[in-house]
Each structure stands twice: as structure tokens, then as C-alpha cells.
């Protein structure tokens, strides 16, 4: 046994024990995808490090594990999710949803029992507490909780010290609510109960303005029972049988939350292309994504090339200083620049509007409400992106211009070509050979330029009348983000994933074009 072998086997033992530890957990939580990821990674590690057949893989695998886990697998997972109804209300698996429903309880009418004095308290964090005076042996005190918190709350305690000479004494740190205050809070209070044991609880029954209110003891029963033979949920309160309709149990035409996630085939895609109130906005967003990416590249390229052309002159003074300054915007992280630009563009106080102030007066027009109308928001996005992106184009065109042999231009001049002619016929085509792959790369980058759009406008202003949260400056990736995370209409993971798949294909096409274009240009100009 060499040291390296001991090291290797210890390492494998640790990895394998972690895997053995994790697998039952993934089974408990029904995380099938995570389970398959763990198994794939586990097999790869054991294959590569136990045998000597895959020696070079030993070097590659450590890095590759991360790429497989967090790039390749998510991409596959994403395609799977796009065929499910995964969204708020349908997050759980069916078994998990059934478990949650079976934990729900109700109080049958005939179980509403004895009545007694009850006191309502509040602590400094405004949580409610009940004191139920059943008799001198049963003075129960505890937090009053709603149905959702029942399983995380401890049972009420017997606290005889709360009564001195049969008079209730408010404990330190609590506030005793008067009858009027109880009425004011009655909507909250009617859902709260003091838990005595698994099936018995105390609820506030009658609020009394004079003297103590009345509480009532009740025993609860399980509200839903799952009948796995017929695959129906039985509602014990109303004696209803609730069958499965797609991804929910439905009682009397009413869906019971939560539902569960199911495979829905192409429904998300159908929704994207046929639901008018989604298809419309999606079309707007897709068109703008292309426009935005194209115009961004064009504007940055034109400005960058123009600047590198005017500096590309022998004997020009301050050249180095100009260069250093033109690069500066590129050196600032975008999340900072965008924040600053948001300030400059502020319609009420921003500098842009105070500069334009005289213009507005001369032409007698309303000051532009930057970022709040479709046109102004779109122009602002392009303006800021030009600021962010022209330095990059300046840098690469400067490099490319310098690599074009001067003799070529001289020769053209001797042959009588004008400045413009030699630019369009010689400089520009040569420039494009080295620059065009970068332009396509830049297009692809801007196609998914989430940071700029999301931080500058948040995609806004909103498009009115659509079924999903979407705005006039949203690009596909920010649209996806809103659908999945922050749209304020729940998490539509399935629908968002299907939009991501569309982006995947567009990026694929762009990359393919880039690849072929580069090849072609190399063939045409390769000899120069």
C-alpha cells in the first residue's frame, strides 16, 4: 500500500458513504432527479478512481463533476420541467400532497363540548395566547395557533399560578385583551386554537365585553382520508368523495389545494403559442430581444469603430489618454453602472432631464418620462448599453486596425482609390474577418443580457392586458425570470422552462451560424 493508494481509498470511502447517506434521503423526499444525478456522479467517481482503465480521466473528472451537475444536468432537467405543470400550487409530488391533506383536521358539530372562561393575551411580538380556566385542576395556558402551525406547536401547560384567589392575574410580559380588543381581532382569533392534545383543542366561542369571554372545548377529526383503491379523497366533514381531475382532488367542483405536479406533455408550449394573452406578449418580447441585441451590437460597433478610426492616425496627440478613458466604462461592473445610470435617467431629478430642460422649453414639449413609457425605456436601455459596450468594440477594432498592413492602403492610394473607397473596399472587409465572430459573440451575449434589462427597467413598463407579468423592455431571459421567480403571479416553473428551451434553440442557431460564418470567412480571406 503506497501513500497515494491509502489516500485514494480513504477518499473513495468518504464519497461512497456520503452517497449511501444521501440516497435514502432523496427517496424520502422523492427527489428523483437529484437521485439520478447522485447515482451518475457516484458511478463515474468509482469507475474512474477504482480501476486503472481510465487514467487520464482522473485529471478531468473533478472539474467535470461540477459541469455535469450544474450545467449539463440542469439543461436536461429544464427540458423535463418544461413538460410538467410545475408551478405554485403544484410543487409537490402526489404522495406529498396526500400527506398534507390527510393532516388537515376539522371539528364535527357533535364534538363541540363544554364551555368555560377564556382569557386572550398578547406578547411583545403580538402573538396571541389563550388561558382556559376549565377548573382549578386544569388551567391551561399556551400559544394560540392556526391550523397550519399545529404540528410545530407544543401542547398547552397547566398553570395554576395564573389564578390567585380565583382572580386572573396577567403574567409578566403579556398584555390582556379587553372584550373590545378581542372583537377588533375577531377575524384572526376565530382561526386560532389552543392545542391540548392530538385531537382536543380550545377555541374562543363567545366574546364578552363585560367579564371574561367564553371558550369551548372541541375534539377534532381528520378532514380528508385518501382511498387508494379508487384514487379518491374522502372529505369526512361533508361525506364527499373527491376524485382526481388531472392534478388536483376536486370536491363538488372545487379544487383542493395543494395539487401535485404531473407530466402535461406539450401543454406549456401550446399555451405559449395559442393563448392569445400569452402569445401576444411573447411575440413582443421575442421581437424586441432580437432588436435589442442587434441594435446594441450595431451601436457599440459603430461608436467603437469610429473612435478607433479617429485615433488611428500617426502623430495624433493625447492618443494614450483618450484610449485609457474610452476603456473606463468597461472596467466598471455592470451592476454598478446600471444603478448610476438609473439615477441619471430619473425623470424628476435626473441629470439627463435637467440637461434637456432648455430643449424641452424651446420646443415646448413635455419632459421625457424616462423608463416609464415604451419608447423612452427602450431608448434608455440602448443608450446605457452603448455606454457599457462601446469600449469593448473600441478595443477589438483598435487591435484589428493595427494588424491591417499599411502597405495595402498605400497601394490602393497609389492606384487612385479615395479614402472612402479604400475604407469600404480594403479596411472594412479585412476588419470583418477578425471581428465578425466577436460581433456574433456579442450578439449572443446581449441576447441574454439579463443584468442590464432587469436592473435598469425591470423589464418595465408593463404590457397591459397580458396573462403573465411582462413589460415592454423585457427580453426572453428576463421574461423567463419573471415567470419563474419574481412575477408576482406565483412560480410558473413549467411555463418558464419552456421559454428557456426556445432560448436554447435560438442560441444554438446563432452559434451554428457563427461557426459556419467564421469558416467561410477564413476560406475567402485566409490567403491574405
Q: Which of residues 298-317 bind other proteins (CB under 8 A)?
A: 303, 306-307, 310-311, 313, 315-317
Judged by CB under 8 A, the residue of 29, 155, 263, 360 near other proteins is 29
Of the pair 175, 269, the CB lying nearest other proteins is at 269
**Distance between CA 442 and CA 295 in Å, rounded?**
11
Buried b (16+ CB within 10 A) or exposed e, 372-382: eeeebbbebbb
Q: Which cell goes with 256?
A: 383542493
Judged by CB under 8 A, the residue of 3, 55, 126, 414 near other proteins is 55
β-strand partners of 129: 121, 143
CA 256 to chain centre: 26
Of the pair 112, 323, the CB lying nearest other proteins is at 323
Judged by CB under 8 A, the residue of 41, 45, 86, 144 near other proteins is 86
Which residues, 6+ apart, have CB-to-CB distance to 172 below 8 Å? none
Q: Is 320 in the site for other proteins (CB under 8 A)?
A: no
Report whether 154 contacts 136 (CB < 8 A).
no
Binding pattern for the stretch 393-432 against other proteins, x by CB under 8 A and - elsewhere: --xx--x---------------------------------
Judged by CB under 8 A, the residue of 169, 351, 365, 411 near other proteins is 351
Q: Is 504 in the site for other proteins (CB under 8 A)?
A: yes
Of the pair 40, 344, the CB lying nearest other proteins is at 344
Judged by CB under 8 A, the residue of 9, 70, 424, 428 near other proteins is 70
DSSP 414-449: HTT--HHHHIIIIIHHHHHHHHHHHHHHHHHHHHT-
Q: Which cell goes with 135?
A: 377548573
Count of residues of this chain found to bind other proteins when the rule CB under 8 A is applied: 102
Of the pair 466, 480, the CB lying nearest other proteins is at 480
Q: Is 225 in the site for other proteins (CB under 8 A)?
A: no
Of the pair 245, 508, the CB lying nearest other proteins is at 508
Q: Is 3 in the site for other proteins (CB under 8 A)?
A: no
Distance of closest approach, residue 497 Cβ to other proteins, in angstroms: 5
Judged by CB under 8 A, the residue of 101, 477, 479, 482 near other proteins is 477
Of the pair 171, 329, the CB lying nearest other proteins is at 329
The count of other CB atoms within 10 Å of the CB of residue 71 is: 9
**Distance between CA 360 and CA 373 in Å, rounded?**
17
Judged by CB under 8 A, the residue of 445, 461, 467, 517 near other proteins is 445
Q: Which stretch binds other proteins (CB under 8 A): 41-49, 204-212, 282-290, 324-332?
A: 324-332
DSSP letter (8 states) at residue 372 = T
Q: Is 349 in the site for other proteins (CB under 8 A)?
A: yes
Report whether 438 contacts 501 (CB < 8 A).
no
Which 274-303 residues touch other proteins, going by CB under 8 A? 303
* Integer angstrom CA distances of residue 154 from 103, 116, 216: 16, 22, 19
Q: Is 358 in the site for other proteins (CB under 8 A)?
A: no
Helix (H) or strand (E) holding 412: helix 406-414
Q: Is 339 in the site for other proteins (CB under 8 A)?
A: yes
* Integer angstrom CA distances of residue 500 from 68, 377, 503, 512: 19, 24, 5, 18
Amino acid at each position: 500500500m503506497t501513500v497515494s493508494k491509502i489516500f485514494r481509498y480513504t477518499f473513495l470511502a468518504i464519497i461512497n458513504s456520503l452517497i449511501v447517506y444521501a440516497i435514502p434521503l432523496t427517496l424520502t423526499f422523492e427527489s428523483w432527479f437529484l437521485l439520478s444525478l447522485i447515482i451518475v456522479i457516484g458511478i463515474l467517481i468509482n469507475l474512474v478512481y477504482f480501476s486503472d482503465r481510465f487514467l487520464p480521466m482522473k485529471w478531468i473528472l473533478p472539474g467535470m463533476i461540477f459541469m455535469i451537475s450544474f450545467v449539463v444536468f440542469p439543461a436536461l432537467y429544464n427540458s423535463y420541467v418544461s413538460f410538467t405543470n410545475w408551478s405554485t400550487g403544484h410543487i409537490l409530488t402526489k404522495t406529498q400532497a396526500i400527506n398534507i391533506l390527510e393532516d388537515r383536521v376539522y371539528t364535527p358539530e357533535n364534538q363541540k363540548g363544554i364551555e368555560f372562561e377564556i382569557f386572550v393575551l398578547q406578547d411583545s411580538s403580538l402573538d396571541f395566547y389563550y388561558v382556559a380556566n376549565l377548573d382549578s385542576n386544569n388551567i391551561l395556558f399556551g400559544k394560540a395557533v392556526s391550523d397550519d402551525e399545529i404540528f410545530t406547536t407544543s401542547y398547552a401547560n397547566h398553570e395554576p399560578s395564573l389564578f390567585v384567589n380565583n382572580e386572573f392575574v396577567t403574567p409578566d410580559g403579556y398584555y390582556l385583551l379587553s372584550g373590545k380588543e378581542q372583537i377588533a381581532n375577531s377575524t384572526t382569533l376565530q382561526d386560532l386554537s389552543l392545542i391540548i392534545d392530538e385531537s382536543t383543542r380550545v377555541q374562543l366561542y363567545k366574546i364578552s365585553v363585560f367579564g371574561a369571554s367564553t371558550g369551548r372545548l372541541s375534539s377534532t377529526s381528520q378532514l380528508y382520508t385518501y382511498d387508494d383503491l379508487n384514487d379518491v379523497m374522502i372529505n369526512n366533514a361533508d361525506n364527499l368523495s373527491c376524485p382526481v381531475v388531472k392534478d388536483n382532488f376536486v370536491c363538488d367542483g372545487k379544487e383542493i389545494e395543494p395539487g401535485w405536479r404531473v407530466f402535461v406533455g406539450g401543454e406549456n408550449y401550446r399555451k405559449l403559442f395559442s393563448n392569445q394573452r400569452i402569445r401576444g406578449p411573447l411575440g413582443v418580447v421575442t421581437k424586441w430581444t432580437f432588436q435589442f441585441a442587434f441594435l446594441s451590437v450595431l451601436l457599440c460597433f459603430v461608436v467603437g469603430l469610429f473612435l478607433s478610426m479617429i485615433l488611428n492616425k500617426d502623430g495624433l496627440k493625447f492618443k494614450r489618454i483618450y484610449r485609457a478613458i474610452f476603456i473606463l466604462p468597461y472596467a466598471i461592473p455592470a451592476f454598478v453602472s446600471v444603478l448610476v445610470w438609473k439615477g441619471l435617467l430619473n425623470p424628476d431629478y435626473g441629470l439627463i432631464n435637467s440637461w434637456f430642460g432648455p430643449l424641452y422649453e424651446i420646443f415646448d414639449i413635455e419632459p421625457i418620462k424616462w423608463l416609464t413609457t415604451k419608447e423612452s425605456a427602450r431608448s434608455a436601455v440602448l443608450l446605457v448599453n452603448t455606454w457599457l459596450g462601446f469600449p469593448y468594440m473600441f478595443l477589438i477594432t483598435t487591435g484589428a486596425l493595427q494588424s491591417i498592413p499599411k502597405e495595402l492602403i498605400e497601394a490602393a492610394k497609389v492606384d487612385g482609390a479615395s479614402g472612402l473607397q479604400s475604407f469600404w473596399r480594403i479596411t472594412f472587409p479585412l476588419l470583418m474577418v477578425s471581428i465578425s465572430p466577436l460581433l456574433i459573440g456579442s450578439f449572443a451575449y446581449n441576447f441574454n443580457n439579463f443584468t442590464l434589462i432587469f436592473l435598469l427597467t425591470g423589464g418595465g413598463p408593463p404590457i397591459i392586458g397580458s396573462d403573465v407579468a411582462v413589460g415592454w423592455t423585457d427580453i426572453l431571459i428576463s421574461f423567463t425570470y419573471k415567470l419563474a421567480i419574481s412575477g408576482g403571479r406565483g412560480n410558473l416553473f413549467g411555463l418558464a422552462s419552456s421559454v428557456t428551451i426556445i432560448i436554447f434553440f435560438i442560441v444554438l442557431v446563432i452559434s451554428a451560424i457563427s461557426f459556419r460564418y467564421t469558416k467561410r470567412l477564413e476560406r475567402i480571406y485566409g490567403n491574405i
